[in-house]
Structures are given as C-alpha cells and as structure tokens.
Structure 1
C-alpha cells in the first residue's frame, strides 16, 4: 500500500532518521567507537560530566538493564570513568575520558566535512536551535509528572 500523503510531522521525523542514517554510514571510526545505544549514554555524560548513574539513566530514558549494559561497555572501551563522590562515598560520578573527547573530535571533523556547504550559516543556526527545542520538549513530554 502506497502512502501518498503523510503528515508534515511524520515527514520531519522520517527525514531526521534518514539524515542520522546517512551520517552513520560515513563514520569511518564507528567500528572502534560506541554503539548507537552507548552513544546515547556517552552524549549525556559528556554534556553533564560528574553526573550520577541514576541521573544519566533517568535523562536518557533507557531501560535500567540497557543503561547498565551500555555503561559497563563504555567503561570497558575506555570512554567513561567512574569516580567516587568526594562528599558521599556511596555515590559514583561518571566522567568522559580523553578517548571520549578524541571520539567527539573525530565525529566533529567527519560530520563537519560531510555537511559543509549544504546550508548557509543562518539556516544552519536556525535548524540547530529548532532541533534543540524539539529534543528538549520531547524529553520533557516523556518525563513522569
């Protein structure tokens, strides 16, 4: 069955997924890097260094077993390190490693080269702001309460 008329919001989500897929196809270092699930955790820890595992799990909206598996794998691959909280010995803080920073630098160079020249600066900045708003509001809608 062919769908000739999709809603604009479906088209938006579909295009976001298609662009993501295109970007992942050209990631030469992906074999040594984190999996897509691990990237979700690493992205949060990178933006919130010193976060707790509980806060990261809640923010990423992953099932506890999936989060724990991703965290263990990221630590084994050298992308995340755990440190005891200096104020609460029972609490563990998560930090990105130098390897995580190098991975981000590699992705920055790869994706910047791929996307260079496609959008003018104004359109790019507007699109970034719009996608940030979409991400933030979708996360807020999924949080309980």
Structure 2
C-alpha cells in the first residue's frame, strides 16, 4: 500500500518538502566538492562574488557590494583573496580614475567552465525535457531575484 493512499498533501507541505530537498541537495553538492583537480577551491562567499562578476563584468567594488548584499569591507577582503588566487583583476575606471572596475581572469573563466561542466553532468540525471528545464530555471531565477530584492543584509 502506498504511504500516500487516501492522503493528498497540501501545497504548503509540498513546498516545504521542496525547500528541504533544495537545501539537502545544495549541501551534498557543496560537500562533494569538485571532481576535476584543475578546479581551484573557493569559499561560498567567494563563489557568490565570482558568480556576480560573471554576470556583471566590469563592476565597481561598490556596485558588487550592493548586489551581493555585503559590507564594502567584506567585499574588499574577498576581492583581495580572489586576486591572490588569480581569479580577479582590477582595471582603472575610464570615467573615474579614483575607482576601479573588477574583471574575472582567464583562470576564473576556465574554472567556471569546469564547474559548469561538472554541475551539468551531475544534474543531467534529472531528465527534464528542454521546456521543463527552461521553466524550472526561470522559476528559480525569478525566486532568487525576489529573495535578493527583499533582503536587507
């Protein structure tokens, strides 16, 4: 007998289960770490900054801080660490010589490509068709944007 016989879970219960699954899968993937030895290990905060700079190349440190909801001192510390790892470089701002613009290096782009390949291979087991996958990606992108816009960090 199916454990759900005679029981239809509510939307709230299904969403709570989805949230638990997302958190569990994220933890497992994070703990699993990269398989490819060419991937340079980064912290969660470094990953957040790299992801933002991948989406918004040439950002100023203050623009970056605002988007990732971090204090400028914390962002500066992470940028120094990423510079030491060879992942970011600063270029003078052409409009404001007092400021700099941050760009990912070739090493960062190579590492991102390796991580994306591993992630894609791992998630291929989900067996979404193209339309389903596009809908899921859009839904999670919209949800992330909503959470970030509400955040007061």
TM class by shorter chain equals 0.7 to 0.9
- Structure with the greater alpha carbon radius of gyration: 2
The farther-off stretch of 131-140 and 108-117 is 108-117
1:81 and 1:12 map into 2 onto residues whose CA distance is: 39
**How far did residue 129 of structure 1 move?**
0.6
The answer as to whether partners of 1:85 and 1:91 remain within 8 angstroms in 2 is yes
1:129 and 1:56 map into 2 onto residues whose CA distance is: 23
Q: Which runs of 5+ in 2 are unaligned?
A: 1-9
* Local SS of the residue matching 1:17: helix
Residue aligning to 2:64: 56
The farther-off stretch of 35-44 and 66-75 is 66-75
Q: 2:74 aligns with which of 66, 87, 112?
A: 66
Residue aligning to 1:45: 53
- CA RMSD in angstroms comes to 2.3
1:119 and 1:63 map into 2 onto residues whose CA distance is: 40
Q: Which runs of 5+ in 1 are unaligned?
A: none
Q: What TM-score do you get using the length of structure 1 for normalisation?
A: 0.85
2:13 and 2:61 map into 1 onto residues whose CA distance is: 38
1:7 and 1:69 map into 2 onto residues whose CA distance is: 41
